[in-house]
């Protein structure tokens, strides 16, 4: 007989009856297990979809290059880089059609080693404005870093063609041409630059250097002596000057200038070694981010958003109190919004802090002059003349102030003559023409206007003044 639950020994009928309903539980358990499997399979599917979506998103939306740099930086530097990234991203999002917005992004990316991405920003800027000279210059800088000399030369040349009055672009172009062995071409570029900017020390120093291998030793000495007279600390002028003098047989003079070169070179190398020992990363990053705030502020100000521009400038100044361009612009905004006392205070402090800076005195004077603060502007321009008595800028600025204010016509005439004597450039002959006209000397005014128009025949302002003086009885 087969043993079953019913005939097992020791089990009663009551027990058998109480357990008899357990038979239907088996299919219920199977269904519950099936439901749980479906649930976990669904969860796994959703997780897989999420992972795939994240992979696709990361592939199509790579992290910002600046954030990539920030990931490997020290905490304080990383925080600044994230701030800079947000500033740049917001700027190009708000002003996608403004080449200056893309220039800000490009400058930040280039500054922190993301050169490919920086190049894309400047290419975008040039698509928006093919006459955006800064874009060509920046692409030239990148090409030079890569050693692509011919490409760099073409970029610098294009920038110079767009801004012919620049004294920076032709010097950069000449430097590349020299590295590429195109000395005669560099000579022509620098000669043209000096025709427009005869007191440009970088242009004269470079021209003097290339005239030595071109064996024009006398001209080389003339240019290089000019440079070291204007700036005795100009290290790189001494060695080619020594070489040129040696070729001319002036051995003692050559030795003297060679010794001076070696002395300055040792000093420069010592300063460089000291700089390397300093912890300079954080201050340099702060300065770069402050510069970005300044550039973005200019975009907002150009569009009439004064409050945002001022907020950005304040943040830039907080990051780098030594950024020289911020205080004059802040003062200009405060003058513009009727806060004359605050603006005047800023510029006075600025002039005092940078008392030996020509650029600072000229910038302060320009803002004071625009808002008719005659005495303050006059003091700033006089200080500029004291700092650089051999330069034309201070004399021309003070002459222009007197002309615009209708004061001291004779003094304006004398100052304009001094400016032209130091730099016979078209813009200074134009100021001389105006000053002579105000001083009642029509023949001198006509002669100066003719010279300005001759030096820059495409300038409509010069031509109009010349025609007006020709009609004067």
Is 228 inside any structural domain? yes
Is 101 inside any structural domain? yes
Same domain? For 121 and 259 the reply is yes
Chain segment 135-144, per-residue pLDDT in tens: 999 999 999 9
Is 39 inside any structural domain? no
pLDDT at 347: 96
CB of 344 closer than 8 Å to CB of 373: yes
pLDDT at 400: 97
Each residue's pLDDT expressed in tens, for the chain with a length of 473 residues: 343 444 444 444 444 434 444 445 555 556 666 666 666 666 666 666 655 544 443 444 445 888 888 888 888 989 999 999 999 999 999 999 999 999 999 999 999 989 999 999 999 999 999 999 999 999 999 999 999 999 999 999 999 999 988 999 999 999 999 999 999 999 999 999 998 888 889 999 999 999 999 999 999 999 999 999 988 999 999 999 999 999 999 999 999 999 999 998 888 888 766 665 555 688 999 999 999 999 999 999 999 999 999 999 999 999 999 999 999 999 999 999 999 999 999 999 999 999 999 999 999 999 999 999 999 999 999 999 999 898 899 999 999 999 999 999 999 999 999 999 988 889 999 999 999 999 999 999 999 999 999 988 989 999 999 999 998 87
Same domain? For 272 and 411 the reply is no
Is 110 inside any structural domain? yes
Q: Could you say which of 257, 277, 297 is where a domain stops?
A: 277
Q: What tokens does 165 get?
A: 């009055």
**Residue 231 sits in a domain of what CATH number?**
1.25.40.10
Residue 429: domain span:
407-473
Residues 6+ apart with CB under 8 A from 171: 190, 193, 200, 202, 203, 206
pLDDT at 118: 94
Distance (Å, rounded) from C-alpha 448 to C-alpha 417?
Answer: 10
Q: Could you say which of 277, 295, 325 is where a domain stops?
A: 277
Distance (Å, rounded) from C-alpha 293 to C-alpha 9?
Answer: 95
Q: Could you say which of 226, 261, 277 is where a domain stops?
A: 277
Is 77 inside any structural domain? yes
Is 58 inside any structural domain? no
Contacts 24+ apart (CB under 8 A), 329-334: 329/294, 329/297, 329/298, 329/301, 331/364, 331/367, 332/367, 332/370, 333/301, 333/306, 333/309
Residues 6+ apart with CB under 8 A from 89: 64, 105
Same domain? For 262 and 411 the reply is no
Is 99 inside any structural domain? yes
Residues 6+ apart with CB under 8 A from 359: 324
Distance (Å, rounded) from C-alpha 19 to C-alpha 276?
Answer: 90
Residues 6+ apart with CB under 8 A from 222: 208
The pTM of this model reads: 0.78
Is 184 inside any structural domain? yes
Say how many domains are in the chain: 2
DSSP class per residue in 125-144: HHHH-TT-HHHHHHHHHHHH
Same domain? For 271 and 412 the reply is no
């Amino acid at each position: 007989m087969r043993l079953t639950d019913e005939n097992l020994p020791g089990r009663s009928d009551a027990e058998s009856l109480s357990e008899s309903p357990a038979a239907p539980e088996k299919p219920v358990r199977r269904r519950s297990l099936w439901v749980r499997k479906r649930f976990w399979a669904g969860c796994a599917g959703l997780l897989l979809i999420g992972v795939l979506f994240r992979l696709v998103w990361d592939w199509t939306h790579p992290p910002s290059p600046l954030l990539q740099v920030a990931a490997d930086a020290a905490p304080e530097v990383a925080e600044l880089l994230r701030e800079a990234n947000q500033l740049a991203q917001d700027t190009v999002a708000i002003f996608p059609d403004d080449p200056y917005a893309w220039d800000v992004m490009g400058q930040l990316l280039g500054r922190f080693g993301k050169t490919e991405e920086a190049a894309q920003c400047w290419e975008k800027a040039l698509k928006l404005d093919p006459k955006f000279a800064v874009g060509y210059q920046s692409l030239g800088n990148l090409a030079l870093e890569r050693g692509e000399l011919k490409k760099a030369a073409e970029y610098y040349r294009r920038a110079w063609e767009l801004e012919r009055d620049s004294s920076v672009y032709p010097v950069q172009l000449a430097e590349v041409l020299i590295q590429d062995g195109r000395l005669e071409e560099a000579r022509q570029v620098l000669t043209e630059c000096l025709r427009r900017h005869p007191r440009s020390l970088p242009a004269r120093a470079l021209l003097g250097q290339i005239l030595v291998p071109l064996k024009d030793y006398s001209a080389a000495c003339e240019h290089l002596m000019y440079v070291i007279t204007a700036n005795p600390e100009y290290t790189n002028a001494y060695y080619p000057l020594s070489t040129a003098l040696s070729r001319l047989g002036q051995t003692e003079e050559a030795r003297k200038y060679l010794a001076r070169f070696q002395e300055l070179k040792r000093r420069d190398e010592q300063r460089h070694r000291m700089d390397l020992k300093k912890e300079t990363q954080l201050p340099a990053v702060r300065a770069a981010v402050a510069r970005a705030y300044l550039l973005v502020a200019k975009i907002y100000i150009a569009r009439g958003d004064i409050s945002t521009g001022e907020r950005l400038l304040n943040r830039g100044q907080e990051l780098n109190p030594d950024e020289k361009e911020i205080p004059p612009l802040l003062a200009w905004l405060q003058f513009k919004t009727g806060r004359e006392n605050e603006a005047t205070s800023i510029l006075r402090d600025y002039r005092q802090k940078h008392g030996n800076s020509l650029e600072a005195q000229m910038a302060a004077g320009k803002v004071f002059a625009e808002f008719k603060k005659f005495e303050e502007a006059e003091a700033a321009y006089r200080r500029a003349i004291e700092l650089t008595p051999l330069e034309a800028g201070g004399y021309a600025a003070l002459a222009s102030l007197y002309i615009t204010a209708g004061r001291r016509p004779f003094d304006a005439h004398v100052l304009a003559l001094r400016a032209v004597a130091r730099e016979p450039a078209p813009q200074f002959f134009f100021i001389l023409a105006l000053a002579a006209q105000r001083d009642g000397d029509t023949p001198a005014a006509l002669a100066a206007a003719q010279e300005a128009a001759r030096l820059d025949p495409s300038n409509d302002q010069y031509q109009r003044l010349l025609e007006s003086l020709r009609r004067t009885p």
